[in-house]
Amino acid sequence: MSSLTESEQLEVARANESEARPVVFIHGLWLLSSSWQKWRELFEDNGYVTLAPGWPDDPDSVEAARKDPEVFAKKMVKQVTEHYLEAISALTQQPVVIGHSFGGLIAQKIAGEGAASSTVSIDNAPFQGVLTLPRSSLKSAFPVLRNPANVNRAVALTFEEFTFGWANNLDEAEARELYETYHVPASGVPLFQAATANLNPFAETKVDTKADARGPLLLISGEKDNTVPPAIVHASYELQSKNPGVTELVTIPGRGHSLTIDSGWREVADEALAFVLKYSPPLSE
């Protein structure tokens, strides 16, 4: 039985009916796929067709997510990756894959499977082999990791926790607007998976950085990100740069973890779009 929802299947069908190259967007923890809407419009204006599947069992709206938070619980990295791979396998054209945070990690896992024509990973969660663990990253993850029982729960952030982890570079008004518009509870287990990855040879956060079919990869880092500080993205780049494919790194000055959804989203999206246009141009051209 397919894990794709009816709406996700319709998005796949729409992409297959189009002559454009598909772009698959992958969100991370504490967001829904609707957080990519502005990005989708930008890429479609530039000749692509887009789809943004959710994680398995994601609600349709932020309001619904807040009413039933436990629907997010126990979603593990492997299950989520397989969900996106199912959507990608149903496409008739190999897609561009763009992900943020844990979505960035999953995007790199998908690239390692040879399933992406090119990949953009934004402030990616650390994968197995990334050893650096900055203090701010630990503090950002503490609302989940402080209680081992959270491995089986969905966890919401308080506004103060969201401000530290996501909106530390924004004024309070914008931070609160983002929190009220986008924030939803998130599965606790992926953070435990990332935290223990280097102690587990079978970790689900393992990425095949050496795959010949990985394709071009851009890693984007926000300079002021507390959740995924530049040191984590730079360490990811060092591992990925050993791949024979193109590997590039861009650090966006002054930006925090909210860089895909805040008022400066376009600066980040333009970096991603320029890379994609270069290495995976629209099929109509």
Is residue 59 within 8 A of residue 154, CB to CB? The reply is no
d(CA 144, CA 139): 10
Angle between helices 265-279 and 37-45 (to 10 degrees): 40
* Cα 168 to Cα 221: distance, rounded to the nearest angstrom: 15
User: How much is the pTM?
Assistant: 0.96
Q: What is the pLDDT of residue 19?
A: 86
Amino acid at 117: S
What pLDDT score does 201 carry?
83
Length of the chain in terms of residues written: 285
User: What is the pLDDT, as a whole number, of residue 199?
Assistant: 82
Give the pLDDT confidence score for residue 284 in this predicted structure.
67
pLDDT (tens, 9 = 90+) of the chain, 285 residues, equals 678 999 999 999 999 999 899 999 999 999 999 999 999 999 999 999 999 999 999 999 999 999 999 999 999 999 999 999 999 999 999 999 999 999 999 999 999 999 999 999 999 999 999 988 899 998 999 999 999 999 999 999 999 999 999 999 999 999 999 999 999 999 999 999 998 888 888 899 999 999 999 999 999 999 999 999 999 999 999 999 999 999 999 999 999 999 999 999 999 999 999 999 999 999 865
**Cα torsion at 276, 259, 41, 106 (round to 10°)?**
60
Count the neighbouring beta carbons within 10 Å of the beta carbon of residue 163.
20
Residues 6+ apart with CB under 8 A from 263: 170, 174
Strands 48-51 and 21-26, sheet pairing: parallel
Q: Determine contact, residues 154/69, Cβ cutoff 8 Å.
A: yes
Tokens read off for 213: 């079919």
